Structure 1
C-alpha cells in the first residue's frame, strides 16, 4: 500500500486505508501506523531509536556526514545540546527583526513564484546569518541544500553528489576561517566545542549540514503549503487578513493540515508489544495529524482549531525538531507580511509539486498580487 505514495499529490486516501486496518499494521512486511496516539507513544518511548541495536543506521550512507538526527542517546543528547543555544527563545526573538526585513524586501513584484522568490529565499537568508555564511555564498548554498534534501527519498544523481561535495567544501572553508578568527555564529561555537573535544570533526560537519537542511526545508514547505491552503480557502484567508495576530494559529493549523515532513521511522531496541527487537516501524506523521479521534473534522482546514493535543509535524520525544521555534517564527512573519502587503494575493498559474514521499511541498507556485 505504501508504495502507492510515490507520485501521489494527495497521500491522505492512502493514509486512510492504513488507518482503517488498525493502529499498527503490516504492509508488505513493514510495520506502519497512521494513529496519532501510537505515533506519539513510539516517538516518546526510549525503547525505540533510529539505529539498530548493533549501532548501524538503516538509511543511506556515504553522501552526507552523519548528524545527531541519525543518532540515539547518549550521542544524540551530547550533539543536540551543543547546537541548542542557537535556537533558544532569546535567540529566536533576536532573529525576528531580521526575518521581518527580509520578508518585506522580497515582496515587490506584481507576479512571482511564491517558492523561488519568497518561501525559499527567506529561510536561507536566516540560516545563512545564523551559520555565518557570506552573502556571496547564499545563492549556491540554497541550491545545494535543496538538492541534498531531495536525496532523502530519491535515487542519487550526479547533481546530488556534486551538491554534497560543494557544501562540504564550503563548510570546510568556513570552519578553517572560524578557527583562525572566531565570531559569534553557530560555526564558531561548534568549532570551539571541537577544540574542547566535545565533538569530532566528522560530527561537526554532520551537524552543520543538518542545520542547513532542517533550517531551510521545514520553513520553505511550511510557507508554501500554508499560502496554498489559505488561497484555497478564501474564508480562512479573509479571516486571517482581518485578524493578523492570528498568525501563530495559522502556522499551527498549516503544520497539522499540510506538514512539511510526512513520515519518519523508529526501530525497536527490544521486544515491545507486537514488535520485536530491530524491527522498524514507519510512522505516518501526516496521517496522524488528521486522526479523527484527535482532531474533529480532520480534513477541514480551520485556523480557529484548538490544537490539543499538539500535532506531530515536528515529531515528538528526544528527536523533537530543534528548529521548531525558528520555523514557527518565520512562518508567522511570512504570513503576516503577505497579508499586509498583498491582501489580494491569488494563484496565477498551475502549481507543481515535489516528487517526494517524506518531504511534502510545492516545487513552484505562481501568484499575483491582484
Structure 2
C-alpha cells in the first residue's frame, strides 16, 4: 500500500487504510506503524538504529556525503554534539531580528509565488549566515542546495550530481579559508574540532551538507504548508490575524497537521516483540500526528489545540531534529509577517506539489496580497 503514496497530494486516506490493520502491520514485506505511541517508543528505543546490527547502512544514493543522520551511537553522539552549539536557544534568539528583517524585505510584491519568493529565500538566508557563506555565494548556494535536496524526491540526475559537486567545492574552499582565518560561524567551529581530531574532514563535509539541506527543507515546507492551511481555513486565519501571539501555536499545529517529513525508518538490532533482528520498521510520522487515540478530532486543523503529547514532526529520541528550535522561530516570524503585511492574502492559482513520499510540500503556490 505504501507504494501508492508516490504522487499523492493527499496521503491521509492511505494512512487510514493502514491504520485499520492495527498499530503494527506488514506492508510489502516491511513493518509499518501509524501509531503515535508506537512510533515514539521505537524512536526512543536504543534497540533500534538507522543501520543494521553489523554497522552497515541499508542504502545510500551516493550523492550526499554521509552525515550523523545515517549513524548510530557512538559516532552519531560525537558528531551531533559538535554541531549543537550553533542551534542553542541563545544563538537562535540572536538570529530572530535578522529573520524578521529578511521576512519583511521579501514581502514587497503584490503577486508572487509563496514558495519561490518567500518560503525558500527566508531559511536559505539564515542558514547561509549561520554557516558563514559569503553574500556573494548565497544565491548559488541556495540554487545548489535546492537541487541537492530534490534528490530525495526524484533520485539523482546529472544536474543534481553537478550541484552536489559545486556545494562540496564551495565548502572545501570555505573550510580552507577558515583554517587560515577563523570566524564566528559553524564552519570555523568544525574546523577547530577537526584540528583537535574530534572529527575527520569527510565527517565535517557530511555535517555541513546535512545542515544545509535540513536547515532549508524543514522550514520552507513548514511555511508553505502552514500558509496554505491558514488560507484553506478562513476562520483560523481570521483568528490568527486578530491574535498574532498565536504564531507559535500555528507553527505547532502545522507541524502536526501537515508535517514537512512524513516518514522515517528504524532497524531492529535484536528481536523486539514481533520485529526480528535487522528487520526494518517504517514510522509514518504524518499518520502518527493524526492518531485519533492521541489527538481529538485529529484531522481538524485547529491552532488552539493542546499538543500533549508532542507531535513527531521533528522525530524523537536521539535523532530529534537538531534545527527544531531554528525552524520554529523562522516559522513564527514568517506567519506573523504574512498576517501583518498581507492580511488579505489569497491564493491566485493552482498549487503544484513535490513528487515525494518522504518530504511533503509544494513546488509552487501563487498568491496575491489582495
Work out whether the TM-score is over 0.5.
Answer: yes
Alignment match, 1:129: 129
- Give matches, 1:106-125, under 5 Å: 106-125=106-125
Deviation at 1:209, TM superposition (A): 0.1
CA separation in 1, counterparts of 2:229 and 2:151? Answer: 26
Counterpart position of 1:322: 322
How far 1:63 moved relative to its partner?
A: 1.1
Task: Using the TM superposition, give the Cα deviation of residue 61 of structure 1 relative to its aligned residue in structure 2, in angstroms.
Answer: 4.1
Equivalent-residue separation in structure 1 for 2:154 and 2:364 (angstroms): 19
**Quick check: 1:241–1:340 contact (8 Å CA) kept in 2?**
yes
> Distance in 1 between the 2:41 and 2:152 partners?
25
- Is 2:12 the partner of 1:50? no
Q: CA deviation at 1:153?
A: 4.3
CA contact 1:99–1:333 (8 Å) conserved in 2: yes
How many residue pairs match? The answer is 370
1:267-306 maps to which residues of 2 (within 5 A)?
267-306=267-306
Q: 1:358, 1:319 → 2: CA distance?
A: 16
Structure 2: distance between partners of 1:58 and 1:328:
31
Structure 1 partner of 2:334:
334
Query: 1:57, 1:7 → 2: CA distance?
Result: 27
With structure 1 as the length reference, what TM-score do the two structures score? 0.99
Alpha-carbon separation, structure 2, partners of 1:321 and 1:18: 26
SS of 1:151's equivalent? helix
The answer to whether 1:22 aligns with 2:22 is yes
> Secondary structure of 1:62's partner?
coil
Q: What is the Cα deviation at residue 233 of structure 1?
A: 0.3
* Partner SS for 2:267: strand
In structure 2, list runs of 5 or more residues that go unmatched. Answer: none
Partner residue, 1:262: 262
Match of 1:212 in 2: 212
Give 1:62 shift: 2.0
Unaligned runs of 5+ in 1: none
Judge conservation of contact 1:350–1:366 (CA < 8 Å) in 2. Answer: yes
What is the SS of the residue equivalent to 2:76?
Answer: helix
- Larger mean Cα displacement after TM superposition, 58-67 or 208-217: 58-67
Q: What per-residue deviation string (whole Å, max 9, x for no partner) do you get for residues 133-161 of structure 1?
A: 01121112112111212212422211111
- 8 Å CA contact 2:153–2:354 kept in 1: the answer is no
Q: Deviations over 1:173-193 (max 9, x none)?
A: 000000010001000000000
Q: How far is 1:339 from its partner?
A: 0.2
CA distance in 1, matches of 2:69, 2:163: 20
